[in-house]
Structure 1
């Protein structure tokens, strides 16, 4: 079925991403598992394939990012390596708010995969409420001196270009937050990978900044302007997460259909039981609804009509949808669905993180309720 809102250029890009993942991601999964995740070579090859820096090469059309997210979700390996390539949406921070000097310095390397990005925002005691962060970046003549901890950071240990969110004016709460670039190798930065239940080889990192000194020219946007930058990024992030959920649920259903067509119980194929057919039908309906929501959201984003409430509804529904579909699929696999050798088990485990990270279900409900209350 043709999907609305996608041009021939979009479809060609989808083919490019699919070919790259089939070539450089899925066959390499055993190696990534052995070394604990993807490596810099993976990013360089992504650059060679032309799928990085889409905020620049895609002309600001976020549909290209959503396509990459959906195709990444469709790979069985993404349940192990995590969001990986989606860290590239941080390019929107630089392209939309960086100085010309910053763009000239970093964008060429972002396009080739030499620069990989992360946005250290979340802290051990500041998750859903971004304004509660305590990391500081205090001015000392021509430098900022950064101190504080960051936690649960996607691409946190592998990235060599960090957009650190810290308070340049701690007394001003949200209005005192700024985004400052810190490059890999800057003295005072230490980091380590956090082991998680899902995304066993994903790069979720903890970072510590101790008297990290960077020039004031590393400020992105204006002092106190972090919330404006973050709000625009959050809108786009909601769509890419939903697209990834859509891709994962679609692959889970396809894997399950293959399994129930061949697996027999008491001499009868599992798919021939009415209960199995009802569960599969519910999965299919959920996936089609999510597909429509993602495509409509992209259209609203292109038209400048995608709101924060829209993003909350989309993230809440799509992540819960993925959880429902994966749970039904695992149930149809029976005991085999819990075996690590079957990708469905890792996909089921990985789906759980979606309802927590990048804004919990509860936070989305708060945003929706505020809209209802006017």
Structure 2
């Protein structure tokens, strides 16, 4: 039924990427999970294979492929059971890089975007703040223009790739009195004086480095402003639809893998003289979960198709993140229960998967924020539009 979205070329790509991950990533996952640091070499290998540039123009080293190659990229990374590794890779491919592509001038694209797609430079996106959370318009980080530089002060937190990245795409207020309209976007090199980073110890996504970043009188050249001053809020909102769909796709893929693993465990595990898959209560609950994940998956594919056509599915992407992450949380919790005591043991995949999955309803905008966006559009008639070019 998925032939509507995936061609033979897509399927061949899926198999080759699956093979790549098994060879280049899987042997190192346990070490990365333990150390909280992913080898730079895997970024370079991913870049060499073109995986970071699937959705980008050939002009900047991308492959200019349809978005369903990215869907495969996201789904397959969930199958190796390291939410932190997957996050580090898709953050590299999409979060800061999308701002570089859409708002950066040609100099910025050549200096930062091109080496991002090759994996030579690692990037991160700094929006969330310690006292702000999902309140983007309420950010406190400031950028004051002095001559040919902006002086940036403030802090960001929960930043994936925030400690080991080579550059940062950062949102700051150039007009503190203008609320959301006073935000601007900058790119800055990691070694710029005044930037500090502290690594955070997390429940899940343990392979990725997540940091709290401080800015103490950081001098950023005026030419490192991206887009127009004061339009940063619109730029951020524009890219959130993509990020939230990514989170939704991650969720359905994560839940699908959990169900596959659990179904095989049920076939193999004997209790009271028969395998677990023969117990009606377990079979019927499994049927419910399979149905929910399948519905989320089909919905996400439909949104991906809209995005690929250049549409702007803010409401649908918000729904995707809200519902898919909720389903994944519930499904993985239940799958862990099916494994009994083994589900609670780290040598089995469900323990890590459950921890990693819990970030789904939090990161990239909480479920509460998703509900409010949907309510504003459906109940208040609000219409979110792309930032004017």
Q: TM-score, normalised by structure 1?
A: 0.95
1:65 is the counterpart of 2:65: no
The 1:45–1:304 alpha-carbon spacing in structure 2 relative to 1, beyond 3 Å, is closer
Deviation at 1:43, TM superposition (A): 0.4
Please give the alpha-carbon distance, in whole angstroms, between the structure 2 residues aligned to 1:113 and 1:252: 30
Deviation at 1:62, TM superposition (A): 3.3
Deviation at 1:39, TM superposition (A): 1.9
**Deviation above 6 Å: which 4+ runs of structure 1?**
none
Q: Does structure 2 conserve the Cα–Cα contact (< 8 Å) formed by 1:62 and 1:236? A: no
- 2:4 aligns to what SS in structure 1? coil
Aligned to 1:228: 234
Match of 1:312 among 318, 335, 339: 318
- 1:144 aligns to what SS in structure 2? strand
Q: Does structure 1 conserve the Cα–Cα contact (< 8 Å) formed by 2:77 and 2:86? A: no
- 1:126 aligns to what SS in structure 2? coil
331-340 vs 47-56, greater mean Cα deviation: 47-56
Q: Does structure 1 conserve the Cα–Cα contact (< 8 Å) formed by 2:336 and 2:351? A: yes
1:168 is the counterpart of 2:174: yes
Please give the alpha-carbon distance, in whole angstroms, between the structure 1 residues aligned to 2:226 and 2:329: 37
Q: What stretches of structure 2 of length at least 5 have no aligned partner?
A: 382-389
Deviation at 1:107, TM superposition (A): 2.8
- 2:365 aligns to what SS in structure 1? coil
1:182 is the counterpart of 2:188: yes
Q: Does structure 1 conserve the Cα–Cα contact (< 8 Å) formed by 2:245 and 2:318? A: no
Please give the alpha-carbon distance, in whole angstroms, between the structure 2 residues aligned to 1:118 and 1:201: 15
1:81 is the counterpart of 2:64: no
Q: CA RMSD in A?
A: 1.6
Please give the alpha-carbon distance, in whole angstroms, between the structure 1 residues aligned to 2:34 and 2:318: 37
Deviation at 1:262, TM superposition (A): 1.2
Superposed CA deviations along residues 64-101 of structure 1, whole A, max 9, x for unmatched, are 3332111112222x235351111110322111111011
The 1:186–1:16 alpha-carbon spacing in structure 2 relative to 1, beyond 3 Å, is farther
Q: Does structure 2 conserve the Cα–Cα contact (< 8 Å) formed by 1:71 and 1:244? A: no
Q: How does 1:1-374 map to 2 (within 5 A)?
A: 1-54=1-54, 55-56=56-57, 57-59=62-64, 61-76=66-81, 78-79=82-83, 81=85, 83-87=87-91, 88-90=93-95, 91-373=97-379, 374=381
Please give the alpha-carbon distance, in whole angstroms, between the structure 2 residues aligned to 1:35 and 1:196: 12
19-28 vs 299-308, greater mean Cα deviation: 299-308
Q: Does structure 2 conserve the Cα–Cα contact (< 8 Å) formed by 1:80 and 1:346? A: no
- 2:212 aligns to what SS in structure 1? strand
161-170 vs 45-54, greater mean Cα deviation: 45-54
Deviation at 1:208, TM superposition (A): 0.3
- 1:27 aligns to what SS in structure 2? helix
Q: Does structure 2 conserve the Cα–Cα contact (< 8 Å) formed by 1:322 and 1:351? A: yes
Superposed CA deviations along residues 308-361 of structure 1, whole A, max 9, x for unmatched, are 211111111110110121012111111110111111111012111100111111
Please give the alpha-carbon distance, in whole angstroms, between the structure 2 residues aligned to 1:306 and 1:18: 30
The 1:21–1:218 alpha-carbon spacing in structure 2 relative to 1, beyond 3 Å, is same
Q: Does structure 1 conserve the Cα–Cα contact (< 8 Å) formed by 2:50 and 2:63? A: no
Please give the alpha-carbon distance, in whole angstroms, between the structure 2 residues aligned to 1:64 and 1:162: 26
Q: TM-score, normalised by structure 2?
A: 0.92
- 2:152 aligns to what SS in structure 1? strand
Deviation at 1:137, TM superposition (A): 1.0
247-256 vs 14-23, greater mean Cα deviation: 14-23
Superposed CA deviations along residues 94-121 of structure 1, whole A, max 9, x for unmatched, are 1111101111222331122111111100
Please give the alpha-carbon distance, in whole angstroms, between the structure 2 residues aligned to 1:92 and 1:60: 15
